[in-house]
A = this chain, B = another copy of it.
C-alpha cells in the first residue's frame, strides 16, 4: 500500500485583491471547493502564478490553508525556484507540514544548463532537507524553463534518491515524452502526471498516476469522475465531456480566462485580477469565452457565492 497522492490535481489559481495582494479568504474557499469535488491541490504551480509570488507569500498562504483545515495530504505545493536556498525553504516548510509531495521546477534563469547542474540543484535541496518524508515530483515544462527534465536526469536522480524522487509532471504537451517517462520509470513506482485531462484515458491505460491540469480548477468533478471511471462503460463519454470544457479554456489565455470565469460563479469581481506581467482578459475574448461556456452548459456547481 502507498499513501502517494494520485488522481486529478489542480494547479490552484491564486486570487488577488485589487491591490494585487493574495486574497486568503478566496483562496481557502477555492481550495475547499476543489477538495470537496475530490481534487488534489498542486498549489503554486504555473497556473497559480507561483512565479509571481514571493517565498513569504507562498508560505503564508500555505499556513492559512492548513489553519483552515485543508488536509496536508491533499497538497503538492510547487517549491522549485531559481535560487536553491528558496527551494529549500519552501520544500522544508511543505515537508514539516505534512504535504503529500512537492512539485519542483528546475531553476529557470540560466539557459543550456547541463543535466549535471540540474542534478546538483535537486541533490542540494534533498540533502539539505534530509527528511525521508520528502517526496519530490520533477516538473518538466521546458517551454517556460528551457531546462528539460530529461530521461537521463530522472535516471540519475532515481538511482541516487529512489525513495525521494518519486514522480514527475510532464507539461511538455508531447505525449511521446510522457509515454517515455512512463515506460522507463513507472513500473518502479515513479508516478507520471500529464498536464491535461485530455491525456487521462491514454495516460491511465499506459500507467500514469493521474493528471495535474489547469482546468481541474474549472471542472474538478468531471475530471475526478474521468480519473475514476475511464475504464468503465461511461469512460469514453466522460473523456469527451472533459475535452469539450478543456478546449473552450484553451481558446483564450488560460490563467486570466479561468479567473474571469470564477468571477461569474463566485460573484467576486476581484477574482479576475492577475499579477503583472500577466494581463486581464480583454472584453471581446471574455464575451466569446462566456458564450462558448454557456453553449456547453458549463457550470462550477456548488461554488461558494459572494454574500
A114 to B110, CA, bound (A): 22
Contact between chains at A52 and B277 (CB < 8 Å): no
Contact yes or no, A55 B54, CB < 8 A: yes
Enumerate the 9 nearest inter-chain pairs by beta-carbon distance, A residue then B residue, closest first: A51-B109, A117-B277, A120-B276, A121-B276, A113-B277, A51-B82, A54-B85, A54-B83, A117-B279
The oligomer's copy count stands at 2
Which chain A residues numbered 130 to 146 have a C-beta less than 8 Å away from chain B?
Answer: 143-144
A6 at interface, CB cutoff 8 A: no
Check A117/B278 contact, CB under 8 A, given A55-B55, A109-B144, A144-B111. yes
A59 at the interface (CB under 8 A from B): no
Query: Given A108-B109, A109-B144, does the pair A86, B279 have CB atoms closer than 8 Å?
Result: no
A258 to B118, CA, bound (A): 21
* A8: min CB distance to chain B, Å: 24
Q: Interface size of A by Cβ–Cβ distance < 8 Å?
A: 37
Q: Are A86 and B117 in contact (CB under 8 A)?
A: no
Q: Is residue A248 contacting chain B, with contact meaning CB distance below 8 A?
A: no
Give chain B residues whose Cβ lies under 8 Å from the Cβ of A109.
Answer: 46, 51-52, 108, 144
Tell me which residues across on chain B come within 8 A of A114, comparing CB atoms. Answer: 279
